[in-house]
């Protein structure tokens, strides 16, 4: 039994996925000759309604390649103040691309107000950077950003001559939660990065989608970033397997998180917020360390951040793990 609720990134390839990886037909992807990589890229382009797609080793590399493909040194990009590209990707856009971020306020669901985007655009003046790009994220800490909001934000950006990049690391979760196709989100933006190694359970990889010109530039950026790989079809095969077998099951992770949230919400003094496959648990401050120690003793993996802990459901969590988590909380609060 796996009891690691830290993240959906800790999933491991299933036996059928490993078999698909082993059996993959491969070639040299630097020469665009790997048939399995090419198939994955074509599938993702079709799914998202885009002209082209590019397989990259990680979501961080995919986001960085996109930002570098869109912007120039000295340009500015607008982004939610707690979004992954800004605070969890080692400032790559600034370090390698010379781009300046302009953080925007977000609400408790991670949403940006379109009016904030409009007001942040710099007027054309020699003293100001060119506001080149808006970077969005979906989901944001598990919270779904609606199709309507993404559409409105993209419209404001386009009215101000900006391109829009969407960090869609968990976009499949958003689509599953709203019961809409992925293209409902991606049709509004120039580029989107979609992760295969979170909820979809592949061991590694993300796919960047966009128009042919931008993806061609991102292909060059990928090489510059050290991301040129050879027989990558073994990895791409995991992504193809995930598209065929692990997309529809994402709702199971959401339902499991809902059941856990319902059980924990009855515990007095415990704050519980559930968003898709994420649970944000805020215990009374004076009990935080003791609860941390108790759950750890039970063999439960989680992030014990203060004041709010995070737990994530995923492919590796089953009924037994769910029951253990709930009973461990109940046991602690029954003391």
320 domain-assigned: yes
If asked whether residues 85 and 129 sit together in one domain, one would say yes
Angle (CA) 80-84-88 rounded to 5° is: 130
If asked whether residues 121 and 188 sit together in one domain, one would say yes
Residue 324's domain is classified under what CATH number? 3.90.1150.10
pLDDT (0 to 100) of residue 335: 82
pLDDT (0 to 100) of residue 2: 83
306: which 2 tokens? 């203060």
The residue to which tokens 């079809």 are assigned: 233
If asked whether residues 93 and 180 sit together in one domain, one would say yes
What backbone torsions phi and psi does residue 112 show, to the nearest 5 degrees?
Answer: -100, 140
* C-alpha torsion sign, points 328, 330, 332, 335: negative
8 domain-assigned: no
If asked whether residues 233 and 270 sit together in one domain, one would say no
7 domain-assigned: no
pLDDT (0 to 100) of residue 8: 96
Q: Domain containing 255: what range?
A: 250-333
Cα(301)–Cα(284) distance, integer angstroms? 20
Domain termination site, one of 180, 211, 245 = 245
Domain termination site, one of 184, 214, 245 = 245
Say which residues have a Cβ less than 8 Å from residue 266's Cβ, sequence separation at least 6: none
Say which residues have a Cβ less than 8 Å from residue 176's Cβ, sequence separation at least 6: 247, 248, 250, 251, 254, 276
The dihedral region occupied by 221, where left means phi > 0, alpha psi between -120 and 50, and beta the remainder, is alpha
Domain termination site, one of 218, 245, 272 = 245
99 domain-assigned: yes
If asked whether residues 23 and 88 sit together in one domain, one would say yes
Cα(308)–Cα(310) distance, integer angstroms? 7
If asked whether residues 215 and 314 sit together in one domain, one would say no
Q: What is the CA radius of gyration of the chain?
A: 21
**What total of structural domains would you count in the chain?**
2
**Is the previous residue joined to 282 through a cis bond, with omega within 30 degrees of 0?**
no
Cβ atoms 181, 175 nearer than 8 A: yes
Cα(239)–Cα(262) distance, integer angstroms? 33
9 domain-assigned: no
If asked whether residues 21 and 152 sit together in one domain, one would say yes
Cα(168)–Cα(119) distance, integer angstroms? 25
Residue 154's domain is classified under what CATH number? 3.40.640.10
If asked whether residues 225 and 297 sit together in one domain, one would say no
pLDDT (0 to 100) of residue 119: 97
**Is the previous residue joined to 300 through a cis bond, with omega within 30 degrees of 0?**
no
If asked whether residues 278 and 144 sit together in one domain, one would say no
pLDDT (0 to 100) of residue 206: 98
329 domain-assigned: yes
Q: What is the 3-state secondary structure (H, E, C) of the chain?
A: CCCECCCHHHCCCCHHHHHHHHCCCCCCHHHCCCHHHHHHHHHHHHHHCCCEEEEECCHHHHHHHHHHHHCCCCCEEEEECCCHHHHCCCCHHHHHHCCEEEEECCCCCCCCCHHHHHHHCCCCCCCCCCEEEEEEECCECCECCCHHHHHHHHHHHHHCCCEEEEEECCHHHHHHHHCCCCHHHHCCCCEEEEECCCCCCCCCCEEEEECHHHHHHHHHHHHHCCCCCCCCHHHHHHHHHHHHHCCCCHHHHHHHHHHHHHHHCCCCCCEEEEECCEEEEECCHHHHHHHHHHHHHCCCECECCCCCEEEECCCCCCHHHHHHHHHHHHHHHCC
If asked whether residues 173 and 256 sit together in one domain, one would say no
If asked whether residues 165 and 294 sit together in one domain, one would say no
If asked whether residues 237 and 258 sit together in one domain, one would say no
308 domain-assigned: yes
200 domain-assigned: yes
One digit per residue, the tens of pLDDT, for the chain of length 335 reads 689 999 999 999 999 999 999 999 999 999 999 999 999 999 999 999 999 999 999 999 999 999 999 999 999 999 999 999 999 999 999 999 999 999 999 999 999 999 999 999 999 999 999 999 999 999 999 999 999 999 999 999 999 999 999 999 999 999 999 999 999 999 999 999 999 999 999 999 999 999 999 999 999 999 999 999 999 999 999 999 999 999 999 999 999 999 999 999 999 999 999 999 999 999 999 999 999 999 999 999 999 999 999 999 999 999 999 999 999 999 999 98
């Amino acid at each position: 039994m796996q009891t690691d609720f830290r993240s959906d990134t800790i999933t491991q390839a299933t036996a059928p996925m490993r078999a698909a990886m082993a059996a993959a037909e491969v070639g040299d992807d630097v020469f665009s000759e790997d048939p399995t990589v090419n198939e994955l890229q074509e599938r993702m382009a079709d799914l998202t309604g885009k002209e082209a797609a590019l397989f990259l080793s990680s979501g961080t590399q995919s986001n960085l390649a996109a930002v570098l493909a869109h912007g120039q040194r000295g340009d500015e990009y607008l982004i939610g103040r707690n979004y992954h590209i800004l605070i969890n990707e080692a400032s790559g856009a600034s370090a390698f691309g010379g781009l300046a971020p302009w953080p925007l306020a977000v609400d408790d669901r991670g949403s940006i107000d379109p009016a904030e985007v409009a007001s942040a655009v710099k007027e054309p003046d020699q003293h100001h950077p060119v506001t080149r790009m808006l970077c969005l994220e979906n989901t944001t800490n598990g919270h779904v950003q609606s199709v309507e909001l993404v559409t409105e934000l993209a419209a404001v950006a386009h009215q101000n001559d900006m391109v829009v990049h969407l960090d869609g690391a968990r976009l499949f979760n958003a689509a599953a939660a709203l019961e809409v196709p992925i293209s409902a989100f991606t049709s509004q933006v120039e580029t989107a990065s979609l992760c295969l190694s979170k909820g979809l359970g592949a061991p590694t990889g993300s796919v960047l989608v966009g128009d042919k010109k931008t993806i061609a530039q991102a292909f060059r950026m990928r090489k510059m970033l050290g991301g040129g790989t050879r027989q990558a079809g073994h990895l791409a095969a995991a992504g193809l397997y995930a598209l065929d077998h692990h997309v529809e099951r994402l709702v199971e992770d959401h339902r499991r998180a809902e059941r856990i949230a319902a059980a924990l919400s009855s515990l007095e003094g415990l704050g519980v917020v559930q968003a898709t496959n994420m649970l944000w648990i805020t215990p009374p401050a004076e009990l935080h360390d003791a609860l941390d120690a108790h759950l750890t003793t039970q063999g439960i993996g989680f992030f014990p951040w203060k004041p709010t802990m995070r737990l994530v459901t995923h492919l590796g969590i089953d009924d037994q793990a769910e029951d253990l988590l709930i009973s461990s909380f109940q046991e602690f609060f029954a003391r």
